[in-house]
Amino acid sequence: MPVDGFSYGLLTPVAAFLMAALGSALGLRCTLRAVSVQERRAGWLALGAVAIGTGIFTMHFIAMMGFTAQDVRINYDIPVTLSSLLVAIVVTGLGVFLVGYQGRTPLALTAGGVITGIGVACMHYLGMAGMRMSNGYQEYDPGVVTLSVLIAVVAATAALWLAMTVKKFGVAVGAALIMGVAVSGMHYTGMEALSVHASAVAGGGGRSPAEILAPILIGPVLLLVFVGLFVGMDPLEREWRHSPADDERDGQPEAPDAGASGAMFEPRR
């Protein structure tokens, strides 16, 4: 059966990419803080995992709003759909916690990037498993599926290396865009692996996209707004933006500032 991943033109892919990049930007900055400071490291890493996982999830379902299959009604199984969000947060969390506690070593950054990329892929294919088709079934090309996972792993690793090495805001934006490419590239490559075939057995069940769009997306978007406000109010973020000397330290931990004892997070000694 013919399928179309761009039934709304460029609207859904562009909006999806922007959400992936936003979640990645916030998550990578949280992870950088966790590596650079001593206090509340686990909290920053958990926040980073939530931001990245939520960005992946939101990107996926915005993109799926533009997916149609000819003569097939597509619904979504709510428990499976929500479990894909949990998987995205947990698996990417493993990657950022590894970097957060092992430091910016080549091995930790590579392993963290691989795990994060796998988290992107897990969320995508579990989310796809939540689709319920009225009179069709899904089939995947294993070679293209493998390629989609490799894209996610390579781009996520590159983004993590870049974000953890230099604190400059412009570099952080670049890392977020690379991570957005990882998520979007993985998604649309994975969709190329998909073919939909007619089935004589009536399927269905689940909820229609129109029914779940608001409840599925409002919560994650509000989470990203909360994380963004939290990151923006952190004194260390303002210090990094106005201290070009930090960029010359190649991501090394900063010396403590005696006058910053009242800040929410204190630099590592």
Residue with tokens 């994650």: 220
Distance (Å, whole) CA 223 – CA 217? 10
How many degrees, rounded to 5, is the angle at CA 234 between CA 157 and CA 119?
25
pLDDT in the model for residue 171:
82
Most confident of 131-145, 208-222, 223-237: 131-145
Average pLDDT over residues 156-183: 85
Average pLDDT over residues 85-100: 92
Return the sign of the alpha-carbon dihedral for residues 243, 246, 248, 254.
positive
What are the b/e assignments for 230-265, b being 16+ CB within 10 Å? bbeebebbebbeeeeebbeeebeebeeeeeeeeebb
pLDDT in the model for residue 258:
37
Tokens representing 235 are 């004194």
* Under 8 Å between Cβ of 221 and 21: no
Task: Band the pLDDT of 255: cuts 50, 70, 90.
Answer: very low
Task: Band the pLDDT of 238: cuts 50, 70, 90.
Answer: low
Lowest mean pLDDT, pick from 93-102, 199-208, 248-257: 248-257
Tell me: pLDDT of 261 over 50: no
pLDDT digits (tens, 9 = 90+) for 113-122: 999 999 999 9
Amino acid at 244: P
Tell me: pLDDT of 172 over 60: yes
Residue with tokens 């073919």: 195
Backbone angles phi, psi at 139, to 5 degrees: -145, 145
* Under 8 Å between Cβ of 23 and 58: yes
Instruction: Compare 235 and 116 and report the one with higher pLDDT.
Output: 116
Average pLDDT over residues 17-38: 87
